[in-house]
């Protein structure tokens, strides 16, 4: 049973057939999105069957883009715990606070979900060699899934990326090129190398399937909340894959008829004040985000000055009635310590940023006490020990 129908450009409506490799819409430089035959899926699929399957991202394979089970690379990604946060709940006056702890994924970050989907699809479509520019974690995740697939991988990463990301990617056998500059500079080098050598570039949103892996976070949340979605989701936004993916998942879930009501979460982007292109564009009411010059933050995964999917991110925030918040690195470090000491969760700085953002929104009354709020801890704090002393 396979339901992927086609790929489409959300800006110009161009349609692309499945069964072939695609990147992005060359006419308008927009990401492409996967479209499923959800009317047929609605008639044929029963949501209860998904809940009865063994845990992991691939239990949702009918809503994913890989047809051949042998191509579905699995290292234990997905079904990360949805934790309560009792002490923080009390401190913030928010009784219904949850943390989706994505640090449980292979390679210690939720990049595993996206790369599991993208590398599996690439394997099925005959790709021989892969490349990615990364702020760090996507490089480790690509390297792991490429190793699993038996395919060579090349990773372009800023020279000051966390050491764990360089070490893991090399250990998994990837060729790692350290780049002077940011992920945007790495992106240019990766694109040039891809063109020169015929490698397939799995940059964020420059192929259509990483977002499909990450959307499964939305399916898991729906299931975990009894098919009635939470009120607020706070997401640390770099390239925006998970944010756009979950918003897409909620639309798919509605079309499948699996939700018990029409409520949708308000989606919140948290960014670091030192690199906040989405927050700035949101505040300006702009449709596009301008390149954020001089980007600097210790939250490596948020150091994305020019997100390729800016239009989709901003649209998800606005359609959902959400917002965007920038927090300082000092607030991120304080929140990281607080999550560790109050709840026993050693979050990545990016994950900790969501708590710093929530603190602001709760103080402003934007989040109300009765609401069900989900923070995303997107990675393991243990991957960020460079220069740290306790
Ligand atoms: C990449 C990354 C992010 C940002 O995710 P996007 O989906 O690109 O916005 C957040 N946290 C961590 C730990 C990351 O590695
Ligand atoms: Zn287009």
Q: Which atom of ligand 1 is nearest to the CA of 136?
A: 15
**Ligand number, closest to the Cα atom of 298:** 1
pLDDT of residue 389: 74
Q: Which atom of ligand 1 is nearest to the CA of 214?
A: 7
For ligand 1, the distance from its centroid to the CA atom of residue 303, given in whole angstroms, is: 9
For ligand 2, the distance from its centroid to the CA atom of residue 320, given in whole angstroms, is: 23
Can you tell me the distance from the alpha carbon of 375 to that of 303, in angstroms, rounded to the nearest whole number?
19
Spatial CA neighbour of 130 closest among 210, 237, 243: 210
**Ligand number, closest to the Cα atom of 31:** 2
pLDDT of residue 308: 97
Q: Which atom of ligand 1 is nearest to the CA of 135?
A: 1
Residues with CB under 6 A from ligand 1: 109, 111, 137, 204, 236-242, 301, 348, 350, 378-379
Can you tell me the distance from the alpha carbon of 231 to that of 368, in angstroms, rounded to the nearest whole number?
10
Instruction: Put the strands of the sheet holding 266-272 in their side by side order.
Output: 82-84, 97-101, 373-377, 232-236, 266-272, 323-327
Parallel, antiparallel or unpaired: strands 4-8 and 33-36: antiparallel
Q: Which residue CA neighbors atom 4 of ligand 1 most closely?
A: 238
Cβ–Cβ under 8 Å, residues 119 and 153:
no
For ligand 2, the distance from its centroid to the CA atom of residue 247, given in whole angstroms, is: 20
pLDDT of residue 68: 98
Query: How confident is the prediction along the chain (390 residues), in pLDDT tens digits per residue?
Result: 899 999 999 999 999 999 999 999 989 999 999 999 999 999 999 999 999 999 999 999 999 999 999 999 999 999 999 999 999 999 999 999 999 999 999 999 999 999 999 999 999 999 999 999 999 999 999 999 999 999 999 999 999 999 999 999 999 999 999 999 999 999 999 999 999 999 999 999 999 999 999 999 999 999 999 999 999 999 999 999 999 999 999 999 999 999 999 999 999 999 999 999 999 999 999 999 999 999 999 999 999 999 999 999 999 999 999 999 999 999 999 999 999 999 999 999 999 999 999 999 999 999 999 999 999 999 999 999 998 777
For ligand 1, the distance from its centroid to the CA atom of residue 59, given in whole angstroms, is: 23
Out of 77, 105, 108, 109, mutate this one to test ligand 1's pocket (max ligand atoms within 8 Å of CB): namely 109
For ligand 2, the distance from its centroid to the CA atom of residue 30, given in whole angstroms, is: 6
Spatial CA neighbour of 219 closest among 106, 113, 137, 319: 113
**Ligand number, closest to the Cα atom of 105:** 1
Q: Which atom of ligand 1 is nearest to the CA of 379?
A: 13
Domain 82-107+211-387 has CATH 3.40.50.1100: yes
For ligand 1, the distance from its centroid to the CA atom of residue 45, given in whole angstroms, is: 31
| Residue 370: CB atoms within 10 Å | 9
For ligand 1, the distance from its centroid to the CA atom of residue 210, given in whole angstroms, is: 12
For the chain, list the strands marked E by DSSP. 4-8, 15-17, 33-36, 82-84, 97-101, 130-133, 153-158, 175-179, 200-201, 232-236, 266-272, 323-327, 373-377
Q: Which residue CA neighbors atom 2 of ligand 1 most closely?
A: 301
Q: Which residue CA neighbors atom 5 of ligand 1 most closely?
A: 238
Please state the domain extents for the chain: 82-107+211-387
**Ligand number, closest to the Cα atom of 32:** 2
Out of 301, 312, 345, 346, mutate this one to test ligand 1's pocket (max ligand atoms within 8 Å of CB): namely 301
What would the pLDDT profile of 11-35 be if each residue is shown by its tens digit? 999 999 999 999 999 899 999 999 9
**Ligand number, closest to the Cα atom of 27:** 2
pLDDT of residue 387: 81
The pair of three-digit structure tokens given for residue 103, joined into one six-digit string: 């640090």
């Amino acid at each position: 049973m396979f339901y992927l129908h086609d790929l489409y450009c959300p800006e110009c409506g161009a349609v692309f057939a499945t069964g072939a490799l695609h990147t992005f819409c060359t006419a308008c430089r927009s990401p492409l999105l996967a479209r499923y035959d959800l009317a047929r899926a609605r008639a044929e699929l029963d949501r209860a069957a998904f809940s009865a399957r063994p845990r992991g991202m691939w239990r949702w394979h009918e809503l994913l883009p890989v047809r051949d089970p042998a191509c579905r690379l699995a290292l234990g990604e997905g079904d990360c715990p949805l934790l309560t946060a009792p002490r923080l709940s009390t401190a913030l006056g928010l009784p219904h606070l949850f943390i989706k702890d994505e640090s449980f994924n292979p390679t210690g970050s939720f990049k595993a979900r996206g790369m599991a989907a993208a590398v599996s699809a690439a394997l099925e479509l005959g790709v021989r060699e892969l490349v990615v520019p990364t702020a760090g974690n996507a490089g480790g995740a690509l390297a792991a899934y490429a190793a699993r697939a038996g395919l060579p991988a090349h990773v372009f990463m800023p020279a000051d990326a966390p050491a764990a990301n360089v070490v893991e990617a090399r250990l998994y056998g990837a060729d790692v090129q350290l780049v002077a500059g940011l992920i945007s500079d790495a992106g240019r080098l990766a694109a040039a190398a891809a063109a020169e050598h015929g490698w397939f570039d799995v940059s964020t949103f420059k192929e259509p399937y990483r977002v499909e892996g990450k959307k499964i976070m939305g399916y898991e949340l729906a299931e975990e909340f009894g098919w009635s979605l939470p009120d607020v989701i706070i997401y640390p936004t770099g390239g925006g894959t998970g944010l756009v993916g979950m918003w897409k998942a909620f639309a798919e879930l509605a079309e499948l008829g699996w939700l018990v009501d029409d409520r949708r979460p308000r989606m919140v982007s948290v960014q670091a004040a030192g690199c906040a292109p989405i927050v700035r564009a949101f505040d300006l009411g702009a449709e596009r985000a301008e390149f954020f010059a001089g980007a600097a933050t210790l939250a490596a995964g948020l150091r994305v000055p020019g997100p390729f999917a800016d239009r989709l991110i901003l649209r998800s925030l606005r359609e959902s009635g959400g917002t965007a918040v920038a927090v300082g690195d000092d607030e991120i470090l304080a929140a990281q310590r607080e999550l560790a000491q109050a709840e026993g969760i050693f979050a990545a700085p990016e994950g900790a940023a969501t708590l710093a953002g929530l603190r602001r929104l709760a103080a402003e009354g934007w989040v109300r006490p009765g609401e069900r709020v989900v923070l995303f801890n997107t990675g393991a704090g243990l991957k960020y020990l460079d220069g740290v002393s306790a």
